[in-house]
Amino acid sequence: MRVAISRCLLGDNCRYNGKTKPNAAVIRSAKNVEVVPVCPESAGKLPIPRPAAEQRDGGVYMSDGTDVTRQFQAGACKEFDRVKKSGAPLAILKAKSPSCGSDLIYDGTYSGTLTAGDGVFTRLLKQEGITVATETMVEEMHPSVEHPVAIVLGTGLGSITDLVHVVRRIDYHDIEGFPDNAQPIEGHRFEAAIGALDGVPVIVYPGRIHLYRGYSAAEVTSLVRHAFRLGCRDIIFAGATGAIPGKVEKGLGILTDQINLTGRNPLAEWEGLRDVESPFVDMNDLYSPYMSSIARGVAKDQNITIGAGVFAGVLGPSFETRAEVSALRQLGVSYVGMSTVNEVIMAHALGMHVLGLTLAANYSGGCDVDHQSVLATAKRYEDDFQRWVRGIVHLL
């Protein structure tokens, strides 16, 4: 997978003052990908050393008042062309910089104050649909023993648990908030596995419970709160769904956003949920663009065909009527299923980074929709799914 990375984060002395800002997490990540090193300010032929520059009034000015807008734009365009040609879906860029900053940049007062905005180079990448992450994000999301990756698996996808070098198992019934009487359906196991997947610390939950069996949204999301309390900050959900005909094909896919049609929301039960500070949570970037880019990159590298689209979570357990399939298509939905949406809301409310993977085992509204056919399809995709998840976890 190709990733554009700010040269100063890799240890190059290309900053305005002739210095560098090497970042250990970024350098570690760079070892696992094909790096496209970028420095738009060097490409703009700005002298080193020079006074610090910041964006102001639609331009870029050095602290001595020199207008360097033209050089910043020229350098940004040059590096943008290189990144575009490379096909990199992801860039890891130095935070706050007038060229490379993302979402937050210095405000033009040269006082260290920040304001909302993107660097000149970052704007071009985002317009092109290239995901931009900062070094802080990479640091935060890197798995460790203190912060393992949580992986919650749905029907037929639990076999990845067998690849985990397990150091401890936890019966779901010992998890706070998990219903005492819940029993797994075929294709699920109610025992979390804590250990390492190819050396990466993980906690795998090879089964879940569903609203359609009468459980509350708080109960359904108890595994997410458990993962959070055990230190997980990244969480991968994978479940079987139905593909909306005309939108996506059957097979593996990435969830890009969601519509909660279950009529439930765990945050409506938040008073009973410790860990949640407020139920009023913004739902922007619900699914982590950074993790999704890695998932796309790994799939491409490993020649795994994937789809991508909006997921609609419904209560179930009956499957969708033809009218419902048609309505979902008009709503822009690609995948529909009976789990995940409430768990994703819970994880996001806890500040976790969420990746949504799916196996569309059948076409929604088709005649091949039963539990056995889902299990049979999951078996067919087992190898691709395992390679995909292992590759993703390795790059986090």
Residues in touch with ligand SF4 (CB under 6 A):
6-8, 14-15, 39-42, 94, 97, 99-100
Nearest approach, Cβ of 104 to ligand SF4 (angstroms)? 13
**Is the CB of 37 or the CB of 245 nearer to ligand SF4?**
37
**Is the CB of 97 or the CB of 260 nearer to ligand SF4?**
97
Nearest approach, Cβ of 21 to ligand SF4 (angstroms)? 7
Nearest approach, Cβ of 375 to ligand SF4 (angstroms)? 49
Nearest approach, Cβ of 39 to ligand SF4 (angstroms)? 3
**Is the CB of 132 or the CB of 295 nearer to ligand SF4?**
132
**Is the CB of 22 or the CB of 87 nearer to ligand SF4?**
22
Q: What angle do CA 348, 117, 44 make, to 5 degrees?
A: 125
**Is the CB of 72 or the CB of 237 nearer to ligand SF4?**
72
Q: How many CB atoms lie within 10 A of CB 123?
A: 17
Burial of residue 19 (CB within 10 Å: 0-12, 13-18, 19+) is exposed
**Is the CB of 29 or the CB of 42 nearer to ligand SF4?**
42
Nearest approach, Cβ of 391 to ligand SF4 (angstroms)? 27
**Is the CB of 72 or the CB of 385 nearer to ligand SF4?**
72
**Is the CB of 125 or the CB of 393 nearer to ligand SF4?**
125
Nearest approach, Cβ of 40 to ligand SF4 (angstroms)? 5
Nearest approach, Cβ of 16 to ligand SF4 (angstroms)? 7
**Is the CB of 83 or the CB of 153 nearer to ligand SF4?**
83
Please tell me the distance from the alpha carbon of residue 329 to that of residue 346, in angstroms, as a whole number.
Answer: 26
Nearest approach, Cβ of 229 to ligand SF4 (angstroms)? 37
Q: How many CB atoms lie within 10 A of CB 307?
A: 17
**Is the CB of 6 or the CB of 292 nearer to ligand SF4?**
6
**3-state SS track over the chain:** CEEEEEHHHHCCCCCCCCCCCCCHHHHHHHCCCEEEEECHHHHCCCCCCCCCEEEECCEEEECCCCECHHHHHHHHHHHHHHHHHHCCCEEEECCECCCCCCCEEECCCCCCCEEECCCHHHHHHHHCCCEEEEHHHHHHHCCCCCCCEEEEECCCCHHHHHHCEEEEEEEHHHCCCCCCCCCCCCCCCCEEEEEEECCEEEEEECCCCCHHHCCCHHHHCHHHHHHHHCCCCEEEEEEEEEECCCCCCCEEEEEEEEEEECCCCHHHHHHHCCCCCCCCCCCCCCCCHHHHHHHHHHHHHCCCCCEEEEEEEECCCCCCCHHHHHHHHHCCEEEEECCCHHHHHHHHHCCCEEEEEEEEEEECCCCCCCHHHHHHHHHHHHHHHHHHHHHHHHHC
Nearest approach, Cβ of 366 to ligand SF4 (angstroms)? 50
Please tell me the distance from the alpha carbon of residue 18 to that of residue 20, in angstroms, as a whole number.
Answer: 7
Sequence-distant (6+) residues with CB within 8 A of 56 are 107, 108
Nearest approach, Cβ of 8 to ligand SF4 (angstroms)? 3
Nearest approach, Cβ of 129 to ligand SF4 (angstroms)? 20
**Is the CB of 23 or the CB of 340 nearer to ligand SF4?**
23
